[in-house]
Amino acid sequence: MGRIFRGFAAAAASSVAAVVVRDLFQHKHALLRNFPLIGHGRYLIEAVGPELRQYIVAANNEERPFTRDQRRWVYASAKKENNYFGFGTDNDMEYTPGYPIIKHRTFPRAVPRSAPRAAREVDLPCAKVIGAAHGRPSAFRPKSVVNMSAMSFGSLSGNAIEALNRGAALSDCLHNTGEGGISRYHRHGGELIFQIGTAYFGCRDADGRFNLDKLKDVVAGAPVRALEIKLSQGAKPSLGGLLPAPKVSAEIAAARGVPEGRDCVSPTRHAEFSDTDSLLDWVELLAAETGLPVGIKSAVGDLDFWHELTDLMQETGRGVDFVTIDGGEGGTGAAPLIFTDTVSLPFQLGFAQVYRIFAERGLHEQVAFIGGGKLGLPDNAVVGFALGCDMINVAREAMLAIGCIQAQKCHTDTCPTGVATQNTWLARGLVPKDKAVRVANYIKTMRRDLVKVAEACGVEHPGLISTESVDILDGRTASTPLYEVYGYKPGMGLPSAADREEIVRLMTVAEPQGTSAPPSPSAAD
């Protein structure tokens, strides 16, 4: 009897050991690489979670920032699994004020592609050439309207940055460096937007002052397509940042140009300009010295800055090439609750106010508008495009695609999936080459859905979806057109006539249009 029991125990122990070894060395699941064996518990709970939650805890649309349905859509898209939903919507659309409805057309100009998988690999370039209006030597048309938002090496692990950069290369989108400079993890083929924050990481001298020569060197040594001056971010405007000493590894120190193992502080304000006029001078200086388009990233609060900026652009001809508007609902590695919850307007409200200020001065066609703040979901993105976005940025949705489970521990350095941590053991769980494919799949699915919705609205490209194609529900019995909600005049929200013509040409040359069944003999007569 004892021998049999010992035999069983030995067999069980060796099975457990085999599972542990397999978990440790498999590449698909970061959680299992980091938490062999016990990580399976999460998958078990995830598998039965919807059923349990349905009766006990939360519904599919209750969790935040991203609901279960939204996360399931991102995960399934990233794995190229079935991302459809059965039975019909479980959103409470009839009773949710502010719910957007996209208005399809019955006989649209653009004929939708018919096969479900059509447009999976669609090319979806930006409808504007960034920097063209100001004659920048390196003006360019971004190849993708969906791009990766700023997240620094420091807030994310090196492996996460590498996965995003490789994913950017696979999906032909741009990868914003965030304000932490360029590291070796950024050099895997993805083209970059170099972000310049208040600490001038990656382009500063030993005393922390901005250094133009360093900027030119860093830009020349990497595939940088544009510069983005960070004024603020939706989740924490007017706040600086601190990367605590234990996180400042040799690699982070090298990318940022700061001493290793010491607290790394980002001030709240820039030292190179002190008002809107000197900001514009600096924009022109950077553009002249590097040849690159130069933009700004900002959250929206008080509107004085935007009035002043557009007045000066109109009067002097100086100007930013792109404006990235980040919504107050946007993400961060770490911030005080009052800032994440209450400071700065949510995306739609903030964006519409800023866009209108540009449009009222006739400047909206010269500047590319980029939106951020949970826009990595097709419904939110479509409203963004209708309001005048030329491109959208995705941050947390890209994190989900590379394995983030919304544990919301990014500020503790204990991220269980290796995404937002500098802990080498946890980061090891995230295998960049595998996750790169996932994030690329997710970006491509976003583009496909955007094209399909654009075609349903009768146009060839999401940038051509107008405010007339979206209504905002006021409840069960009334709706208001988007242009009325945000006070848009006719034509606002669209690129110039020339840009519209060119993007239609690019879309129809590159992609076959949809078809119907052959006409019956009587219809053909």
Ligand X SMILES: Cc1cc2nc3c(=O)[nH]c(=O)nc-3n(C[C@H](O)[C@H](O)[C@H](O)COP(=O)(O)O)c2cc1C
What b/e sequence results for 319-333 when a residue is b if at least 16 CB atoms lie within 10 Å of its CB, and e otherwise?
bbbbbbbbbbbbbbb
408 interacts with, out of ligand X, ligand SF4, none, CB within 5 to 8 A per kind: ligand SF4
CB of 486 to ligand SF4, least distance (A): 32
Q: What is the 3-state secondary structure (H, E, C) of 373-392?
A: CCCCCHHHHHHHHHHCCCEE
Residue 125 in contact with residue 463, Cβ under 8 Å? no
479 interacts with, out of ligand SF4, ligand X, none, CB within 5 to 8 A per kind: none
> CA–CA separation, 220 vs 260, rounded Å?
25
**Which is closer to ligand SF4, CB of 367 or CB of 398?**
398
Residue 481's identity, in one-letter code, is P
Bin 406: left if φ > 0, else alpha if -120 < ψ < 50, else beta.
left
Could you identify the residue written with the tokens 């007017």?
Answer: 238
CB of 39 to ligand SF4, least distance (A): 13
Footprint of ligand SF4 on 400-419 (CB under 6 A): 404-410, 415-417, 419
357 interacts with, out of ligand SF4, ligand X, none, CB within 5 to 8 A per kind: none
Tokens of 222: 């990497």
**Which is closer to ligand X, CB of 313 or CB of 394?**
394
CB of 426 to ligand SF4, least distance (A): 9
- The continuous run of DSSP H or E covering 101 comes out as strand 100-102
CB of 192 to ligand SF4, least distance (A): 21
Footprint of ligand SF4 on 420-479 (CB under 6 A): 420
CB of 65 to ligand SF4, least distance (A): 9
241 interacts with, out of ligand SF4, ligand X, none, CB within 5 to 8 A per kind: none
Among 162, 87, 226, CA closest to 439: 162
Task: Give the pairing type, strands 368-372 and 322-326.
Answer: parallel
Interface contacts to ligand X, rule CB under 6 A: 149-152, 155-156, 178-179, 195, 230, 233-234, 297, 326, 330-333, 372-374, 376, 394-397, 410, 420
Does residue number 32 form part of the binding site for ligand SF4 (CB under 6 A)? no
**Which is closer to ligand SF4, CB of 411 or CB of 476?**
411
Residue 511's identity, in one-letter code, is E
**CB neighbour list of residue 518: distance below 8 Å, 6 or more residues apart:** none
Residue 449 in contact with residue 385, Cβ under 8 Å? no
**Which is closer to ligand X, CB of 71 or CB of 113?**
71
406 interacts with, out of ligand SF4, ligand X, none, CB within 5 to 8 A per kind: ligand SF4
Contact residues toward ligand SF4 (CB under 6 A) are 399, 404-410, 415-417, 419-420
